[in-house]
Amino acid sequence: MRVAFVGLGIMGHAMATNLVKAGHEVTVWNRTPGKLVEGAGVAPNPGAAAQGAEVVWLCVSDTDAVETVIFGKDGVQASLTEGMIIADSSTISPSATMKFAERVSAKGVAWVDAPMTGSKIGARDGTLVFIVGGSEGPVEQLKPLFAAMGKRIFRMGDTGKGQATKLAMNLQIALIFEGFAEALTLATKLGVDTQQLLSLIEATMVRSGVVDYKGPFILQRDFTPNFPLRLMHKDIRLTLEAAKEARVKLPALETVEEIYEMASEEGNRDLDYAATLMLLEKWAGVQVKGKAA
């Protein structure tokens, strides 16, 4: 398929690379010039990238970035023609998604929100799980592209439901990780062997994918970003905004948001979100230690 790929960050670069590898005709655009994808064309702006494309795939930071690349100067909007599909893998506001979709529908363009989970490694290996919102027809048309970048897709409903579900997923990741980090901090302060604690977790119902994934990184004190703290913080804020719009109270997430705020002030926003642990360690006056599992 002819695909315009907009946004070559940690995730986007790997995703566009996998589209090229699968034989699709890809043209890329990135705000900061110089980021390239081997085998893909490069366009001078998002509008030029979208010219003649069947699908415009977005993977940019946040709601404002999506609005800019679609509706801003030299944006995708001017190149939209009937039958095109915009697929958005950025994690952004569900209500903004529905407004954007409404605007492009006037040109006969479908909007499929397709945020994903699987982190940097899933993007690299083409094993992402896509959490999708959109009409059945366009979602079906995108299947070859989903297959090139991921291993599963879950269609959650119409446009906006992918973003809504992604926020509900990241809410859980943030809270599960916070529970894990607090447990590690307390256990360390009380003199418990961390390695033993991890073995115990693994053998019990406390086990989770989040703990399995993050545990080894923490024991190696490796906080290089698989999912940067600044982006998890963005998602937590989006979730709280969506909750406010829906008149839902999320007290635990509100507290965790404050932790992310303080961790950012400590200068850790570009580290992995697991670096929120360091704030707890600082307060407790301990450091979680151990060897990689």
- For position 10 contacting ligand NA7 by CB under 6 A, the verdict is yes
CA distance linking residue 72 with residue 267, whole number of Å: 31
Cβ neighbours around 266 below 10 Å, total: 14
**Binder among 3, 16, 59, 174 for ligand NA7 (CB under 6 A):** 59
8 versus 131: smaller Cβ distance to ligand NA7: 8
**Binder among 11, 142, 259, 263 for ligand NA7 (CB under 6 A):** 11
Binding letters toward ligand NA7, positions 154-193, x by CB under 6 A: ----------------------------------------
Residue 167, burial from CB neighbour count under 10 angstroms (0-12, 13-18, 19+): buried
- For position 31 contacting ligand NA7 by CB under 6 A, the verdict is yes
CA distance linking residue 43 with residue 36, whole number of Å: 10
Residue 285, burial from CB neighbour count under 10 angstroms (0-12, 13-18, 19+): exposed
* DSSP-assigned letter for residue 86: E
- For position 69 contacting ligand NA7 by CB under 6 A, the verdict is yes
- For position 117 contacting ligand NA7 by CB under 6 A, the verdict is no
Q: Which stretch binds ligand NA7 (CB under 6 A): 10-18, 131-139, 175-183, 266-274?
A: 10-18
Number of residues that bind ligand NA7 (CB under 6 A): 21
* DSSP-assigned letter for residue 22: T
Stated length of the chain: 293
- For position 9 contacting ligand NA7 by CB under 6 A, the verdict is yes
- For position 76 contacting ligand NA7 by CB under 6 A, the verdict is no
34 versus 267: smaller Cβ distance to ligand NA7: 34
**Binder among 17, 77, 90, 117 for ligand NA7 (CB under 6 A):** 90
The set of residues, in sequence order, having a beta carbon less than 8 Å from that of 246 and lying 6+ positions away, is: none
* Active-site residue, 214 included: no
CB 89, min distance to ligand NA7, A? 6
The single residue of 161, 166, 214, 234 carrying the catalytic annotation is: 166
The set of residues, in sequence order, having a beta carbon less than 8 Å from that of 158 and lying 6+ positions away, is: 133, 134, 135
CB 281, min distance to ligand NA7, A? 25
CA distance linking residue 15 with residue 211, whole number of Å: 25
Phi, psi torsion values for 20, nearest 5 degrees = -60, -45
> What is the contact surface with ligand NA7 in residues (CB under 6 A)?
7-12, 30-32, 59-61, 64-65, 68-69, 89-91, 231, 235
Active centre residues (catalytic): 166
